[in-house]
Amino acid sequence: MRSTIGKETIASISNGAHGDPFSILGLHTISEKGKEKLVVRAFRPEAKKLEILIGKSKPLELEKISDEGLFEIIIPKRKKKFSYKLKVTPYEGKKFDISDAYSFDSLLTDFDLQLWGEGNHQKAYEFMGAHPKKVDGIKGTYFVVSAPAAYRVSVVGSFNNWDGRVHSMRKFHDQGLWEMFIPHAASGDLYKFEIKTPAQDAPFIKADPYAFNAQIRPDTSSVITELNDYKWGDEKWIKSRNQYQKEDQPISIYELHIGSWRRKTEQENGFLSYRELAKELIPYVKEMGFTHIELLPIAEHPYDPSWGYQITGYFAPTSRFGCPTDFMFFVDECHKAGIGVILDWVPAHFAKDEHGLRRFDGTGLYEHEDPRQGEHRDWGTCIFNYGRTEVQNFLISNAVYWCDKFHIDGLRVDAVASMLYLDYSRKEGEWIPNKYGSRENIEAIDFLRKFNDVLHSEFPGVLTFAEESTSWGGVSRPTETGGLGFDYKWNMGWMNDTLAYIEKDPVHRKYHQDQLTFSMIYAFSEHFTLPFSHDEVVHMKKSMLSKMPGDDWQKFANLRLLYLYMYTHPGKNLLFMGGEFGQWSEWNHDNSLDWHLLEWSKHQGLQQLVKDLNKVSKKETALHQIDSDWRGFKWIDVSDADHSLISFIRRGKNRNDFLVVILNFTPTVHYGYQIGVPTDGTFQVLMNTDSEYYGGSNAGDSTVQAKWGDWHDQPAYINITIPPLAGLILKPKNTK
């Protein structure tokens, strides 16, 4: 039989070079000798024989018109289009019936295409990637990918022997999207996209940028995954989240790396799964009194030592610890226990691994083409091109995705400073100014504002945190007033000054008291989080306990004092795992924390102190109601640098609701030290970090009596014993 298509077309279909296979394969109308006829073509390289099944009619055999596996048949006596299946007799194995992927029409809606083209698709994950579904009663998976510069894109996977000729996709040229419904591709099947560029280069293979699941490293395939099967039980939490996470509520964050918080003892360095973490981590965090868990990035990443910051699968919770529904279970259990979950989110850069986003369609689709804009040389990563609609759709949808599908309560945005400045960590000649000739990254600024506006609009109560280390103004101010729109900014200045001070020998601290007091000059310019994060306990910086000067007793005393200072300073608190019980060694992502240290009383005491600080910060509204306003803070005395003593007042919304904080940064006991206070009467010592309960020397008073008399610009004063290297929190007894 003479074929209805030419030799060049046959060859291009057979060798996978055709750019529009939907125009050839499947059911088509042709004109032959002035008459319209219906023809079916199919490419099945595994088929020794191929037949077409139309209803209950007898199977009709297709003619093989290429050695590679292209088949064709003109359907006799039919003028209208019809549904059909293919019966495949393979060279090896049993016969099987299958629906033809090229018999299905496009499933993309005009609305999706319009939003995508505008760069305003906030839930692109609902159609991009791979979605198991039924079409015309047929089970399969619907695939969509963005590759505007590609000549041909195919879905390859375990369901088609990874053959890029079998399932070449349909392209929407205006939007650069490719789509295809593949019958019988099902949850659990592996897949990737094979991409051919207009150049005569060999096709290359990429993982799905929108994949919900991926193989565990070193394997890199995407996994077809259904996300809608999990039944959530956190309705009460979600309904009340807006109240739990208000600015006037206590927020105390336990930052952790899932892979090294605790390992399985029965396996050599075995990971705990998401479900095992729910069983072990949540009760611990609850007992410690933290309000939130913050997870270092859990999006899929190929390289363990990157700690998750070099991502290849932005929509896939890493399979190191289980599947996506396992992670949903973990978040659900956190919420049932009254614990919020914050994710570390990385829109500043992405990994260069070949299967990832880099040069996805043969061009800089996600990154800038010019390395002066598109590469982070310090980190060996690519920088997103925030001006592209594809990038805006991708990143905004990703932020929404975590809050929508996984009920995440907040996103901490990594490396914001690197996004804001075009010359970040670059020498002269290594960067390109913006259109105004200055260093600000206008597209990134617009993106961050859009991200915050969308997230806060879609999910009231969800929090965003910026790791921003410069003096950029308005990071945590509303976008309508010119700010970036974050809820909180990490107070890196406070962290650096405080650690620089506390690491000094106490004998030298009197010369550096300004490092403690300087933070109050700008403390209310933003809404701040006070972070002692993972970054401070790696790369030869020492652990929190090892940073402290002096002998072991002084190290523990200094750290207890430091933690009380953090909890009483205006701002929300963040502490990295291990710091709460005094890890001696730096954090190592390959090993569990040194939990055996809790066999010793000093480590137990430090852990108990953190528990009690969390308890007090929750109970005492003076410590959390007014964190970003001078109404919540007043210095008592910062002038006694010779003794390295400072004191201040923290207030709640009710002016009679206040606490007095006294900090002694030397190992000297001060007896009968006079300090001004707002009222007379009895003051109770709520916390004393030198208590024997915490491993201290137990110096100090349990109560003190205040008398009227001007002192330190206050109407009353107390005479109090101040323990060595210790912090005190005092509360007047006549208040509740």
Catalytic residue ranges? 414, 467
Alpha carbon distance 644, 357 (integer Å)? 53
Alpha carbon distance 70, 26 (integer Å)? 11
Alpha carbon distance 720, 257 (integer Å)? 42
Alpha carbon distance 617, 4 (integer Å)? 79
Q: Are 526 and 627 in contact (CB under 8 A)?
A: no
Q: N- to C-terminal Cα distance for the chain?
A: 96
Residues 6+ apart with CB under 8 A from 500: 512, 515
Residues comprising the chain, all counted? 736
Give the tokens for residue 29. 């109308």
Q: How far, in Å, are 332, 337, 342, 554 from residue 233 at the CA level?
A: 7, 11, 18, 47
Could you give the angle at the alpha carbon of 523 between the alpha carbons of 519 and 529, nearest 5°?
100
Residue 326, strand partner residues = none
Alpha carbon distance 420, 320 (integer Å)? 33
Report helix, strand and coil shares of the chain as percent, to nearest 5.
30, 30, 45
Q: Are 348 and 382 in contact (CB under 8 A)?
A: no
DSSP alpha helices (H): ranges in 406-491?
416-420, 442-458
Alpha carbon distance 291, 237 (integer Å)? 13
Alpha carbon distance 596, 185 (integer Å)? 48
Q: CA nearest 351: which of 325, 318, 387? A: 318
Residue 74, strand partner residues = 39
Site of tokens 């369901």 = 159
Q: Are 193 and 357 in contact (CB under 8 A)?
A: no
Q: Report residue 178: phi and psi, to 5°.
A: -125, 140
Residues 6+ apart with CB under 8 A from 236: none
Q: How far, in Å, are 254, 389, 566, 670, 712 from residue 685 at the CA level?
A: 26, 58, 18, 16, 20
Q: Report residue 632: phi and psi, to 5°.
A: -95, 0
Q: CA nearest 638: which of 566, 712, 689, 700? A: 712
